[in-house]
Amino acid sequence: MDPNHTQIELTTENIKLICHRHYGAGSDGILYGPIISGDEIKLRIFNPDGSEAEKSGNGIRIFSRYLLDAGYITSDSFVLQTLGGQVVVEILKTSGELIKVNMGKVSFQSDVIPMLGDSREVIDEEMKFGDEGYNVTCLSIGNPHCVIPATDISEALARKLGPLVENHSDFPNKINLQLLKVMDRHNIQIEIWERGAGYTMASGSSSCAAASAAFRLGLIENKVAVHMPGGIINIEITADGFVYMTGTVDSVARGVFTDHFLKQLQ
């Protein structure tokens, strides 16, 4: 949603209605921008429950494609500001179909994630969700993630564990869940439960988080393909700790809200 063309107050209730798959447009969230201040381009990201997200890897790529298509940018590299920090975007194909994003550095530090308890790096730490114990690695890449390695992962398991992990009392800002299966040293598979959104077929920041956790645990090399039900994203972790995400973006549709719907949002 471009605030330069559509003036809508994004209250919690308005966001929920817009994202509702039966009564609204239907969406996993809203990318609100560009918010332009001088040379700075800012993006705000809202979950379908009305909460605001710090960062979204897929969202950043989608939004970057919009900036290119709408003529806001003409260069093949630019900086984008998010609530979760600054990211550098590189357009690898002039059509915008392949985009690379420097997602920044991850932190495994508990007070950065944030996570309750003593200040520590949360690496391969045992936690209990429901009646089961799991070894977790938690981190922040501008938004919080909990990665659980497993030999067998599924949508059903993500839907079962997701709410328990997201709302666990140790995570004061809630958290995203990734179930991680290592296929080989260059390929991993994940199932995702997103904070404020629920089960998700693909996620850029989740791909970065899962790859970073697997790399820290010594399970993979620094370049890996992340396989999800919604597609594949390539992740590279550089020697200086930056995480780069490369993936495709496909345009689907453009639209306008009707006057009738806009009246419901007032």
**Annotated binding-site residue? 52:** no
The secondary structure of 143-192 as a DSSP string is SEEEEEE-SS--HHHHHHHHHHHHT-TT-TT--EEEEEEEEETTEEEEEE
Quickly count: other Cβ atoms within 10 Å of residue 27's Cβ.
17
**Annotated binding-site residue? 194:** yes
Q: For residue 203, which of 166, 241, 174, 176 has the smallest C-alpha distance? A: 176
**Annotated binding-site residue? 195:** yes
**Annotated binding-site residue? 143:** yes
**Annotated binding-site residue? 234:** no
Which two structure tokens, joined as six digits, stand for 152? 């067998």
Place of tokens 């597609």: 231
**Annotated binding-site residue? 51:** no
Encoded amino acid at 244, one letter: Y
**Annotated binding-site residue? 65:** no
For residue 45, what are the β-bridge partners?
Answer: 31, 53
**Annotated binding-site residue? 204:** yes
**Annotated binding-site residue? 203:** no
Binding residues, as ranges, are 47, 57-58, 143, 176, 194-195, 204-205
Binding residues for substrate, as ranges, are 47, 57-58, 143, 176, 194-195, 204-205
